[in-house]
C-alpha cells in the first residue's frame, strides 16, 4: 500500500482544494441542506483532520469488483476487496501535502480484518476536479446537486505522463463510479457508492450512515 502523504498544510495543498461552491454554482449550492453546505463550504479549514464515524450497512462486490480492488492496490488502494454487512467504518479527511487537495481515507473493520481505501480529491492542472489514486493516475469528477443531494460521478480515467493527461480507453475502464452524499438530519449523513461496469453491470455497491463530529463530539 502506498503511504499517505500527510503533514502540515501547505500553499500547494490549499491551492488544489476543490471548491464545490464554485463548481455547482451558488444557486445550486444553497439548495443543499445547511449541514452539507457546512461540510463542503469553501471557507472550511483544510489544514486539520476531520473524521466521520459510522456503519457501512452494505459492502457488496462481485468477483470482478474484488479483482479490480486487488489490482487497485498496485496504484494506491482506491477500493476495498472485502464484503459484509453492518461494517464499522471511519472516513477521515486530511490534507495531501504532495499532490495538494484532500485525502479521503476510509477504514473498514471487517470480521476477518481491517482494510483501507484512500484517494485524493483535488483540482487538476487545468482547474477541473479530479480524484487521484497516486501522482500518475486518477479520474475526472463531475459534481452536481440533485434533489438536495451532492452527487460525485466519474467515468473518465486517466494517466498523467510528462505533463500530459492521457484518457484510458473505455475497455480498460472499471466502469462508472457514482457517489451520493445525502443528509439524514440530526448530524447524520448517508454515503452511497455504486461502481457500474459497462458490460457486467453493478460490480461494487456500498451504503452507510455516518455522524458529523461537529454534531456528535
- Give the tens place of pLDDT for each residue, 156-172: 999 988 778 899 988 88
Residue 216 resides in a domain = no
Output the pLDDT for position 137: 93
Residue 167 resides in a domain = yes
Buried b (16+ CB within 10 A) or exposed e, 140-152: bbebebeeebbbb
H or E segment to which residue 55 belongs: strand 50-61
| Structural domains in the chain (count) | 1
112 phi and psi angles, rounded to 5 deg: -90, -5
Give residue-wise pLDDT tens across range 93-141. 999 989 999 999 999 999 999 999 999 999 988 889 999 999 899 999 9
Contact 54, 210 (CB under 8 A): yes
Residue 4 resides in a domain = no
Q: What is the pTM of this model?
A: 0.89
Contact 30, 184 (CB under 8 A): no
Residue 6 resides in a domain = no
Give the number of other Cβ atoms within 10 Å of residue 217's Cβ.
Answer: 6
Domain that holds residue 195: 11-211
Contact 74, 86 (CB under 8 A): no
Residue 217 resides in a domain = no
Amino acid at each position: 500500500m502506498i503511504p499517505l502523504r500527510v503533514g502540515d498544510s501547505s500553499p500547494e495543498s490549499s491551492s488544489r482544494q476543490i471548491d464545490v461552491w464554485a463548481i455547482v454554482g451558488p444557486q445550486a449550492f444553497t439548495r443543499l441542506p445547511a449541514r452539507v453546505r457546512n461540510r463542503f463550504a469553501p471557507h472550511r479549514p483544510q489544514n486539520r483532520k476531520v473524521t466521520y464515524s459510522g456503519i457501512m450497512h452494505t459492502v457488496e462486490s462481485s468477483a470482478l469488483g474484488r479483482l479490480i480492488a486487488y489490482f487497485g492496490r498496485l496504484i494506491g488502494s482506491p477500493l476495498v476487496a472485502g464484503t459484509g454487512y453492518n461494517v464499522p467504518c471511519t472516513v477521515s479527511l486530511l490534507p495531501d501535502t504532495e499532490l495538494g487537495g484532500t485525502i479521503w481515507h476510509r477504514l473498514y473493520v471487517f470480521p476477518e480484518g481491517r482494510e483501507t481505501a484512500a484517494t485524493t480529491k483535488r483540482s487538476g492542472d487545468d482547474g477541473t476536479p479530479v480524484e487521484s489514486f497516486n501522482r500518475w493516475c486518477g479520474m475526472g469528477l463531475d459534481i452536481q446537486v440533485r434533489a438536495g443531494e451532492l452527487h460525485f460521478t466519474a467515468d473518465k480515467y486517466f494517466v498523467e505522463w510528462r505533463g500530459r493527461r492521457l484518457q484510458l480507453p473505455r475497455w480498460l475502464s472499471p466502469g462508472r463510479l457514482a457517489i451520493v452524499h445525502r443528509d439524514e438530519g440530526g448530524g447524520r449523513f448517508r454515503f452511497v457508492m455504486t461502481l457500474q461496469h459497462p458490460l457486467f453491470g453493478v460490480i461494487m455497491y456500498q451504503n452507510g450512515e455516518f455522524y458529523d463530529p461537529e454534531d456528535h463530539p
